[in-house]
Structure 1
């Protein structure tokens, strides 16, 4: 894939993986539309790309607002032309145990993590001319229930299931619907964790893995494999094996 010939729409690009991805794509000559709620961070990101071979264009957006997603994509199409690849990366995370279970926090996690992707998918389907790939950033936390990630992991499991269910229909329209399932990545979100995160990688490393995966057609991009394959193994364990392992963690 020639990145320089592609127009991207990155949603959730103000920090973490999205920010690093936007910069790497612009450095390779891509035309990158970036969206997030933090307009100031997007403006700074746009400025960082001024000396690069590609461009970053800021389109502030609260992706939990369905109608605004449509409006922003119309604006992107007018200014940059059709989007070829969209990466839906908006997300929030809050560690949660039974002791601090909070329904309002759970609602926010599902609204941002799940509905943002759904709203953007609808907008993209209405403006699908030229669209080749849509990638939804889920997480290996969506493979199976994990301590501290009951709400977050459930939202990511919903995204994986959503993409699995709609992938055949997208393919019939000539669009690859895919998921990105990272392990632990050093971002403002994971900074909330107080435990040692195995196989922790930087956001820049994660962005490189995603760009490398864009040239493939597999349903899933997952990294770092030295960690994610262990999670895949846990995914297939029967409950009578899985829960005793989980109980040892005792968050």
Structure 2
């Protein structure tokens, strides 16, 4: 990628912080031009400012992935101002650990809207361009929580399992059109989202380390990008165990001290859930 016209173009959602931010900065260092999206325009501008002087360029494109019209307008802007998108990374998402008694329709709806519906909105916006060109690369960011149901992640894990299913269903279909599909299953990565977790997080990775593993995986032909690998292998063994045994093991992850009555009856605020990348 020696000239501006030869630079590949990526679009990364959820890029104002955490893993998306680190991946965007790494890719511009590697010579990509990267359009970054999130709801928070000021944070996107800060990421773009940090990338000044790198080989590639960053174009901040603020949008709300839960708003299909906003996403469509954002993708059209990228195609017009930056050029044809080569790679779309659907990374935007949110998480709020919840015990059974903390689940509300509002909290569940927010997780489903952001993680699952938001991903579908992004797919619907960029796919027509890829199909017209018979080329493109889609990376769906899911989670190792998609492997097996885990305590406090009933809704979150379901949305991530849905994303994996979406990618699996699309891969054989889109391969015929020359479009590469990958699913990304990270373990625990230190981000503002995982900072909310009050339980031990085995094999916790720093965001920049995770971004390097992510980028390496994008350059491979593997359908699944998984990191850290040792934790992924453990989780896959858990997935293969009989349900009776797996449920006994996952029960150990339930917090020993459940929230007090006052906390139990207080549902998570939707406003707090929406504080995402």
Tell me if structure 2 keeps the 8 A contact 1:85–1:131.
Answer: no
Q: For each residue in 1:107-150, what CA deviation from the matched residue of structure 2 results, as whole angstroms up to 9, or x when unmatched?
A: 10010001111011111111113742100100001111001111
Counterpart pick for 1:150 among 139, 150, 154:
154
Counterpart pick for 1:43 among 41, 45, 49:
45
For 1:116-135, what aligned pairs fall within 5 Å after superposition?
A: 116-128=118-130, 129=133, 131-135=135-139
Tell me if structure 2 keeps the 8 A contact 1:83–1:131.
Answer: no
Q: Which has the higher contact order (CA 8 A, sep 6+)?
A: 2
Q: For each residue in 1:86-116, what CA deviation from the matched residue of structure 2 results, as whole angstroms up to 9, or x when unmatched?
A: 1000000000001212221111001000111
What is the distance in 1 between the residues matched to 2:253 and 2:222?
Answer: 33
Tell me if structure 1 keeps the 8 A contact 2:36–2:59.
Answer: yes
Q: Report how far residue 48 of structure 1 moved.
A: 0.9
What is the distance in 2 between the residues matched to 1:167 and 1:147?
Answer: 30
Give 1:216's aligned residue: 220
Counterpart pick for 2:241 among 227, 237, 240:
237
What is the distance in 1 between the residues matched to 2:151 and 2:251?
Answer: 9
Give 2:205's aligned residue: 201
Q: Report how far residue 177 of structure 1 moved.
A: 1.3
What is the distance in 1 between the residues matched to 2:169 and 2:101?
Answer: 34
Unaligned runs of 5+ in 1: none
Give 2:97's aligned residue: 95
What is the distance in 2 between the residues matched to 1:167 and 1:46?
Answer: 32
Residues 1:176 and 2:183 aligned together: no
Give 1:73's aligned residue: 75
Q: For each residue in 1:181-221, what CA deviation from the matched residue of structure 2 results, as whole angstroms up to 9, or x when unmatched?
A: 00000000000111121000011011100111111111100
Tell me if structure 2 keeps the 8 A contact 1:82–1:131.
Answer: no
Query: Matched residue of 2:92: which SS?
Result: coil
Give 1:33's aligned residue: 35
Tell me if structure 2 keeps the 8 A contact 1:84–1:130.
Answer: no
Unaligned runs of 5+ in 2: 256-277
Larger Rg: 2
Q: TM-score, normalised by structure 1?
A: 0.96
Tell me if structure 2 keeps the 8 A contact 1:69–1:119.
Answer: yes
Tell me if structure 1 keeps the 8 A contact 2:152–2:254.
Answer: no
Q: How many residues align structurally? A: 250
Cα 1:11–1:89 change in 2 (3 A) is: same
